[in-house]
Amino acid sequence: MSGYFKELFSGTKSLAVGLGITFRYMVKPVVTLQYPHESLQMTPRFRGHIELIPNEETGEPNCVVCGMCQKACPSNCISLAGEKVDGVKGKVLTKYILNFTTCSLCGMCVESCKFNAITFSKEYNLAGPSREAYVFDLKKRLEDKKQ
Amino acid sequence: MILHPETKKALAPFVLPGLIAGPVLIVGLYLFLTSIPGGLARVIIFCGALIIFAALNAAYLVWLERKVCAHIQCRIGPKEVGPFGLIQPLVDGIKLMSKQLLLPKGIDPFLFKVAPLLVLVPAVMSFVTIPFGEHLAARNINIGLLMIFAFASVNVLGLLLGGWGSANKYAVISAARAVSQNVAYEIPMLIIVITMIMVTGTMNLNEIVMQQSGWFGNWYIFRFTASPLMPVAFLIFFVCSLAETNRAPFDLGEAESELIAGFHTEYSGMGFGVFFMGEYANIVIGCSLATILFLGGWQSPVGIASGWWWFLLKLYTLIFCVMWVRWTYPRTTLWGLLNLSWKILIPITLFNLLLTGAMLKIWPH
């Protein structure tokens, strides 16, 4: 008989505690964001697909087409080409293709780059109708971004 | 803006005639109703108002429920359609009304169609006796309490017929559960009502409210001279009304994870809408009864400025509690539910009944 009342009181108490917890959460500020209207600032270590870093003065890519990123990439997603231009040290980038479908965001390319030419972007709004949509022309992206 | 430009263009020619015809219709209706002799006009006006009240309650309680649930889960809830999402329920209603009423193969067409109405109509009928204010009741019936409980049991019939008529195994299981649950919880609820009738000496809801005038110590929940267990009785009444309306944590009848949607699985469009309206109307009735029996109805807690606003304030506070409970507790099991009723609620209410009887003998009111 004493067990019955003990259970009754402890049960009622635990129910009240539960109600208290949900009430506390109800008056707390909301944690969700209204996504299309607002979006989160990505953290500094967030890894989006890589992007080219423009030179601060000229706005052209920092890249000298040494090809280290291409060699470092374990899944061969990077292919780049450059040409020699008079009066510019090293080569000038003409094409930088990233095949994002096979990229695992390991970061070997970023680590291998000695010229501060590539970094992780903060891009996460990615959707496309085909595989080809994920073969990015990074040079073109940089130019689009400038505008 | 909420309306699509195309929709706006299509609606444009109807705006001016609507603006003229609307007031003309209302004035015409008023003149027509006032020309009817006797108290008939009052009843018709009240019935119309009550149906609108029930419909608006169903719509906006869904909105409130979604808001409460969202904030308990640290979300915002509906906000896109209108300010704070306030037009959302109307849009949902329009969607439900524009949907086809699908009659699946193998159903019993008559029972299938009549079941939603059997849930809604008794709930709306029960509103007739609820005193919203001192003179604000459609009919001041001297057996109001009895009438409400008589209609409340028709509601169960609606659920059973809906489940049975759907020819769907989930619906039938759900209907059986709902009925067993309702039968189990009607007992403690009615024992408490008997206790209350012993204390009040009347079944007239307005008179019960009148007896609780003055400060809030006069409310029956604090009437310790009648029974020291009055707050417990209120709590049990509240729990039973949750179970009677198939609300969480007693929503075994429509356990989504097991039974899809329970007895309204097969209903589409307004069939589902009417079930929903009935359900919310029943919640309002349950909370109104708890307010009237225990919390002083339309009486002010400080003895001044009593009126319908107090009734609505208490009513919606209780309804908020119903939602709060729903989003706090997980669903009980069937045996847990029946155990609670037979092992805890019924013994306590029976004890309370005996105690109240003894107390009334010692200190007659």
pLDDT digits (tens, 9 = 90+) for B253-274: 777 777 777 778 888 888 888 8
Domain match, B237 and B167 both: yes
Residue in A closest to B67 by C-alpha:
A26
Which of B74, B79, B344 shows the shortest C-beta gap to A28? B74
Cβ contacts of residue B91 below 8 Å, gap of 6+? B2, B81
Q: Any CB–CB contact under 8 A between B73 and chain A?
A: yes
Domain match, B266 and B287 both: yes
User: Of the residues B98, B131, B157, which one is the last residue of a structural domain?
Assistant: B98
Local structure of A122: helix, strand or coil: coil
Of A100-109, B246-255, B278-287, B328-337, the one with minimum mean pLDDT is B246-255
Q: Which of residues 82-121 of A touch B (CB under 8 A)?
A: none
Q: Any CB–CB contact under 8 A between A9 and chain B?
A: no
The rounded distance, in Å, linking the Cα atoms of A116 and A51 is: 11
Q: Is B307 exposed, middle or buried (0-12, 13-18, 19+ CB in 10 A)?
A: middle
**Residue of B68, B72, B332 to mutate, interface with A, max A Cβ within 10 Å:** B72
What is the count of structural domains for chain B? 2
Does the pLDDT value for residue B233 go beyond 80? Answer: yes
Residue in B closest to A23 by C-alpha:
B72
Q: How many CB pairs under 8 A join A and B?
A: 36
Domain match, B51 and B187 both: no
Domain match, B77 and B112 both: no
Contact assignment for B329 to A31 by CB distance below 8 Å: no
The rounded distance, in Å, linking the Cα atoms of B119 and B113 is: 11
Residue-wise pLDDT for B76-128, tens only, equals 888 878 788 888 888 888 888 888 888 888 888 888 888 888 888 888 888 88
Q: Omega into A36 within 30° of 0, i.e. cis?
A: no
pLDDT of residue B354: 92
Which of A23, A28, A34 shows the shortest C-beta gap to B324? A23
- Spell out which residues of chain B touch residue A18, defining contact as CB-CB under 8 Å: 328-329
Top-level CATH class of A50-146? alpha beta
Which of B76, B328, B344 shows the shortest C-beta gap to A30? B76
Pick the closest to residue B216 from B301, B294, B291 (CA basis). Answer: B301
Residue in A closest to B321 by C-alpha:
A19
User: Of the residues B68, B98, B128, which one is the last residue of a structural domain?
Assistant: B98
The rounded distance, in Å, linking the Cα atoms of B160 and B262 is: 11
Residue-wise pLDDT for A91-144, tens only, equals 888 888 888 889 999 989 999 988 888 889 888 888 889 988 888 888 888 888
The rounded distance, in Å, linking the Cα atoms of A36 and A19 is: 33
**Residue of B328, B340, B351 to mutate, interface with A, max A Cβ within 10 Å:** B328
Which of A8, A22, A32 shows the shortest C-beta gap to B72? A22
DSSP-derived pairing of the beta strands A91-99 and A78-84: antiparallel
CA distances for A78 relative to A91, A105, A124, A146, B311, angstroms: 17, 12, 19, 22, 71
Contact assignment for B72 to A19 by CB distance below 8 Å: no
Element (H, E) at B147: helix B144-165
Which of A15, A26, A31 shows the shortest C-beta gap to B72? A26
Domain match, B355 and B243 both: yes
Q: Any CB–CB contact under 8 A between B346 and chain A?
A: no
Indicate the residue type of A1: M
Contact assignment for B75 to A30 by CB distance below 8 Å: yes
Contact assessment for residue A65 and residue A91, using Cβ atoms and an 8 Å cutoff: yes
Residue A51: phi and psi, rounded to 5, are -140, 160
Sign of the alpha-carbon dihedral angle for B145, B147, B150, B153: negative
Q: Any CB–CB contact under 8 A between B84 and chain A?
A: no
Domain match, B32 and B170 both: no
Domain encompassing residue B264: 102-362
Sheet (strand A91-99) strand order: A78-84, A91-99, A135-137
Q: Any CB–CB contact under 8 A between B344 and chain A?
A: yes
Q: Is A126 exposed, middle or buried (0-12, 13-18, 19+ CB in 10 A)?
A: exposed
Let me know how long chain B is.
Answer: 365
Residue-wise pLDDT for B146-194, tens only, equals 888 888 888 888 888 888 888 888 888 888 888 888 888 888 999 999 9
Local structure of B352: helix, strand or coil: helix
Which of B73, B79, B329 shows the shortest C-beta gap to A18? B329
Domain match, B148 and B223 both: yes
User: Of the residues B65, B98, B131, which one is the last residue of a structural domain?
Assistant: B98
